């Protein structure tokens, strides 16, 4: 929203809405096989802010989210996290994709939680969490295990540390996935429809954990259909349609008093 | 009897003897099964009888079953099979990863490898390796060392190369299929954590591909034990070669072939058992159904651990 007036995206001291910017998205375009999915998206997310991305399926929300950790490569535009350009580097005025090792390093700062949890089924809950810290931060087996248990405590599952994913409910699996992302101490945490694959009675526990993580000051970008959650937790709600952000602002505006007809139609249909 | 709500409660529960005969249900009789079974048994009996009456000197079979030359040949068969399988697994893993690489040169080279070595008879490949000296009289790094090919490519080396490289082509496809069977979300989750593709492959994807890879590798290992007999053609002294050499001398052709057959069956049976245990081990966390005893032991160990803390 206020990204258009940003003069220098590479600087960490830039502010949006008067706050410290953690994620800045500028004029991002992306097509799949000639079909435009993102058509010039700009947005920014302040440090410790929760941004909720809403919109119909196919509107480009998940693609935008996946561009932030370079799981998807945008065709044009810039994305910075904490001032660092994600996935690309400036080579004499040309933006060239970074080498793989750099992208991997950048991804450590951007945690991601998937719709389908994607826990590693051959590992226990604690091993799922310990794997990346052991491999990437050089922690010993014991240190990584300790970190894993501490992370599981944050999502209230320390007693399930030795369970395999198939012995956990969907809600528990998603909480382990959140703990796995948290263990890398990311600067920002991305959620791609984290409750859409859950049975209705399990949604609440996951949203509860997400709320707690937000309250601890984590910067979060959440693609979601849970408008009540967005209303209560988000600092900013973005409504996307056809690859553009139609409306953005605080939840009281976007969800309660939408200015655009299309936002109004979506919100009333979803809250029904 | 019936569903009517007014009828008296059923009193026959749990005692079959009290069920009236007209209510009993009977399995369908299958008289034809008995007939087919009897026919097959008769044919089988005839075959056994024929062999028993045939001109087979079972004493010779018994005598040569543990002959030194046969056992040495068996050892060579097992040795070449194990080594060729190891080479095949190493090559197969390497080329499977290449085949899935984003680099078109690597994936095309891997495709060519499979095409070439799966598309020609292994016997022909063995002969080509054995006769490598006809195209390259010497092998080595020019200036550093050189050796006449005939000294390097012994029958053993030719058999190892031929069987191992051929096996690698088959296992490339097996391992590639295994990797592809793992949900793409797994590699994605690993990437999102910042793990390198190599680490993701080794720690996340391959362990999950194992349940799909192990059974065909077991089949291939059994196949290898038998295929290694083709190395007889390039005078590698495995069990079949040695059996042949013995019957050239004593003329007991069938007896010696039976000896070899017995040992092949023994070796493949042992491999099958190994395959069973390997499969069980790799299904550990994926889909294993845990036995009651297993669960009790695990719970007890966990309790002990907690107590110790």
* CATH assignment of B59-296, among 1.10.3720.10, 3.30.420.40, 3.30.1330.10, 3.90.1150.10: 1.10.3720.10
Q: Do A120 and B186 touch (CB under 8 A)?
A: yes
Section B155-171 average pLDDT:
96
The answer to whether B286 faces chain A, any CB pair under 8 Å, is yes
In the numeric block, which tokens belong to residue A92? 């004499």
Enumerate the residues of chain B whose CB falls inside 8 A of the CB of residue A121: 208, 285-286
Q: Give the dihedral of Cα atoms B226, B85, B284, A137; nearest 10 deg.
A: 180
Q: Who wins on pLDDT, A13 or B170? A: B170
Q: Do B192 and A69 touch (CB under 8 A)?
A: yes
Give the separation between CA B75 and CA B62, rounded to whole angstroms.
19
Q: What angle do CA B93, B229, B223 make, to 5 degrees?
A: 40
Q: Who wins on pLDDT, B11 or B129? A: B129
**CB-closest option in B194, B207, B208 to A107:** B194
CB A2 within 8 A of CB A17: yes
Q: Who wins on pLDDT, A253 or B18? A: A253
Annotated domain spans of chain A? 21-119+189-271
**Tell me: the pLDDT tens digits for B93-109?**
999 999 999 999 999 99
**Tell me: the pLDDT tens digits for A79-108?**
999 999 999 999 999 999 999 999 999 999
Looking up tokens 């007889």 gives B232
pLDDT at B287: 47
Q: Do B285 and A164 touch (CB under 8 A)?
A: yes
Q: Kindly state the helix (H) or strand (E) to which residue A178 belongs, with its residue range.
A: helix A170-182
Question: Could you write out the DSSP letters of every residue in A140-156?
Answer: -HHHHHHHHHHHHHHTT
pLDDT at B294: 60
pLDDT at A2 over 50: no
pLDDT at A5: 41
**Tell me: the pLDDT tens digits for A113-125?**
999 999 999 999 9
pTM of the model: 0.79
CB A144 within 8 A of CB A130: yes
CB A68 within 8 A of CB A23: yes
Q: Do B194 and A184 touch (CB under 8 A)?
A: yes
In percent, how much of chain A has pLDDT > 90?
Answer: 91
pLDDT at B9: 53
**Tell me: the pLDDT tens digits for A206-215?**
999 999 999 9
Enumerate the residues of chain A whose CB falls inside 8 A of the CB of residue B207: 122
Chain centroid to Cα A3, Å, comes to 18
Query: Which chain B residue has its CA at the smallest distance from A65's CA?
Result: B192
CA distance A264 to chain B (A): 34
Give the separation between CA A215 and CA A230, rounded to whole angstroms.
14
Coil vs helix vs strand at B287: coil
- End-to-end Cα separation, chain A, in angstroms: 28
CA distance B284 to chain A (A): 8
A148 CB contacts (<8 Å, ≥6 apart)? A125, A126, A127, A128, A129, A130, A133, A161, A179, A183
**Tell me: the pLDDT tens digits for A139-185?**
999 999 999 999 999 999 999 999 999 999 999 999 999 999 999 99
**CB-closest option in A118, A135, A184 to B189:** A118
pLDDT at A211: 97
ipTM value of the model? Answer: 0.89
pLDDT at B137: 87
**CB-closest option in A105, A107, A162 to B302:** A162
Annotated domain spans of chain B? 59-296
Chain centroid to Cα B73, Å, comes to 21
Chain centroid to Cα A109, Å, comes to 11
In percent, how much of chain A has pLDDT > 70?
Answer: 93
Q: Which of A122, A125, A144 is nearest to A133 (CA)?
A: A144
Give the separation between CA A38 and CA B190, rounded to whole angstroms.
25
Give the separation between CA A88 and CA A102, rounded to whole angstroms.
9
* CATH assignment of A21-119+189-271, among 1.10.10.60, 3.10.20.30, 1.20.1430.10, 3.40.50.300: 3.40.50.300
Coil vs helix vs strand at A208: helix
**CB-closest option in B185, B194, B197 to A105:** B194
């Amino acid at each position: 929203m206020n990204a258009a007036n940003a003069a220098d995206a590479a600087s960490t001291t830039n502010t949006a809405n008067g706050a410290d910017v953690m994620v800045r998205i500028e004029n991002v375009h992306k097509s799949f096989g000639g079909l435009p999915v993102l058509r010039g998206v700009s947005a920014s997310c302040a440090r410790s802010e929760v941004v909720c991305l809403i919109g119909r399926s196919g509107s480009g929300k998940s693609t935008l989210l996946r561009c932030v950790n370079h799981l998807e490569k945008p065709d044009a535009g810039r994305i910075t996290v904490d001032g660092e350009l994600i996935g690309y580097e400036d080579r004499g005025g040309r933006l060239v994709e970074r080498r793989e090792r750099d992208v991997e390093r950048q991804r450590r700062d951007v945690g991601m939680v998937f719709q389908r949890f994607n826990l590693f089924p051959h590992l226990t809950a604690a091993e799922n969490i310990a794997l990346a810290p052991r491999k990437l931060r050089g922690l010993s087996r014991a240190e990584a295990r300790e970190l894993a248990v501490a992370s599981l405590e944050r999502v209230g599952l320390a007693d399930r540390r030795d369970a395999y994913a198939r012995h956990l409910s969907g809600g528990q699996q998603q909480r382990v996935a959140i703990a796995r992302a948290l263990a890398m101490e990311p600067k920002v945490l991305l959620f791609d429809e984290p409750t859409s694959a859950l049975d209705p009675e399990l949604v609440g526990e996951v949203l509860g954990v997400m709320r707690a993580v937000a309250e601890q000051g984590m910067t979060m970008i959440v693609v979601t259909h849970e408008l009540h959650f967005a209303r209560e937790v988000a600092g900013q709600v973005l409504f996307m349609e056809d690859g553009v952000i139609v409306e953005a602002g605080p939840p009281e505006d976007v969800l309660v008093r939408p200015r655009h007809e299309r936002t109004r139609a979506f919100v009333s249909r979803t809250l029904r | 009897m019936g569903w009517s709500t007014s009828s008296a409660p059923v009193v026959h529960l749990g005692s079959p003897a009290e069920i009236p005969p007209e209510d009993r249900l009977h399995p369908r009789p299958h008289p034809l099964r008995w007939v087919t079974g009897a026919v097959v048994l008769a044919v089988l009996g005839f075959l056994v009888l024929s062999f028993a009456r045939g001109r087979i000197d079972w004493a010779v079979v018994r005598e040569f079953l543990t002959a030194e030359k046969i056992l040495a040949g068996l050892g060579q068969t097992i040795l070449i099979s194990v080594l060729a399988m190891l080479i095949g697994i190493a090559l197969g893993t390497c080329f499977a990863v290449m085949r899935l690489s984003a680099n078109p040169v690597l994936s095309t080279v891997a495709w060519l490898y499979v095409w070439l070595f799966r598309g020609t008879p292994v016997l022909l490949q063995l002969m080509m390796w054995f006769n490598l000296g006809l195209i390259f009289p010497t092998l080595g790094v020019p200036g550093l060392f050189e050796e006449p090919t005939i000294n390097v490519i012994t029958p053993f080396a030719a058999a190892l190369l031929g069987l191992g490289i051929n096996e690698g082509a088959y296992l490339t496809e097996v391992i590639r299929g295994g990797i592809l069977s793992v949900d793409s979300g797994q590699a994605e989750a690993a990437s999102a954590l910042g793990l390198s593709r190599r680490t993701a492959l080794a720690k996340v994807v391959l362990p999950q591909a194992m349940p799909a890879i192990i059974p065909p590798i077991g089949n291939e290992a059994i196949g290898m034990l038998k295929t290694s007999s083709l190395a007889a053609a390039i005078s590698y002294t495995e069990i079949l070669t040695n059996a042949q050499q013995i019957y050239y001398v004593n003329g007991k052709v069938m007896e010696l072939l039976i000896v070899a057959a017995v040992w092949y069956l023994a070796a493949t049976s042992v491999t099958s058992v190994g395959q069973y245990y390997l499969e069980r081990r790799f299904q550990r966390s994926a889909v294993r159904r845990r036995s009651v005893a297993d669960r009790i032991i695990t719970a007890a160990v966990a309790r002990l651990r907690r107590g110790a803390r």
